[in-house]
Structure 1
């Protein structure tokens, strides 16, 4: 009997979401006013974990925070949303990561002070936890190089205990998209969950379906988020598509992570690939109804109903 449905490994931090920013930013101590600002839980892994818990999965989180008020905020926010934080390591030296998100007309710019993220390693994930879950998801691959170098080993261990695996690489701030580190992980990844820009960057191919196919032939099922244009899934030979919901977004921060939560939850509930893709697209769309990544995440009944 598994203790948790899902273990999420990766980044967790406070987000300060500001915007919309409707004019270019300038230095020289010039101040600009924006309509809204919010302090909320951020980090791709943390938002995905909260989305999956909201959808009804039992979820554990493994990662690293600092011994500071920001870290206490992160732990409390995860626990409020039903995520187990027993494996959340407190770094005695480095601070909790901090992110500022500037929103503008459906797009965003992200500034992150990495704090303890580069110190996160595979050794932060308890072996007994890997043995007690049905699925392991990792996020923000390129923000945590030490964890990235050990992730293939973690995924292999999870699979040896009959768990499935998924990865959302997120962006690479260095813009290198290193295949030498990523390819060993893809060989033990069941589901890869990039967005369209990441799929293009990972392959260098301008056509989205072709980029997804290239990635799928490197091992995993590839499920690509494409904003208002919905999503596609590619298994190396065939393509599925799902539409986004017609929602006017308040804030798209974390929509892709809520999509990830929807797809993984649907798969773990035994649904077929077409329905899982539709539910994931619904979860991503619904999450944009409020500011921040977690405030508007749907429960399972709403996600299921919206995907019909």
Structure 2
């Protein structure tokens, strides 16, 4: 298939474009910044550009271009609306106009994080699957992604289009921009317990969704490494996560101590990706067990970490 990939110069795009080509697709990359996988430099907010690109033989769109949470400090709210909402609308309209039967939209678990979730205001860990709702998103990133998801559902209904909404957990390479209590690598390793996936897995999920969303209608999927917990652990995780981890991974504490890392004392939320496995047959290959295996065997960590990373658009 000839595909339009937005955000082709971004962090996800650099993994997704090669995987799509490896699956036999022709990829046209669109991004506001130049890049190895970007053939067209421009914005999804440019309706005429999007219309012309899609009309030129494109058979399906993977929309991964967006302004993200760290961009809140760099861009006004209007820029989020232009890119995340208007840009999504432009792409959906072009897809419908050209008779596309599927559309892949990169969303975020961030829109599920209300102020109460952010404040860890519960006596047990929040178990967060696609049905989870605890109030509106806490920032403009989540608000615009929620609006874009609504547009996807509307177009799926109006145009009989199969749409996969992929709410990805964390896979960025840079350090957390709000919490520096642990080293970046230590925090990322911990997050594979409940809220992170590798960039390679995030990209692979898009390829699988493109291949398997046909006939499913509009479906939302939470994407994260499979958690080594069950819902029955939720109360204990909020009080003594280390005890739960020790039962699953008896040598985790020693492996962490050898690296001067710390396991989380509590876990306040767990992302549940089981729907993607049940409906799409997709399961992340990198997990917390993979992280411990790398520590145990002296191998490179199975995730990317680059504290100095900045999106290419910041240099454009």
TM-score, length of structure 2 as denominator length: 0.35
Q: Going by fraction, where is strand more abundant, 1 or 2?
A: 1
Q: Going by fraction, where is helix more abundant, 1 or 2?
A: 2
Structure number, greater radius of gyration: 2
| Bigger RCO (CA 8 Å, 6+ sep) | 2
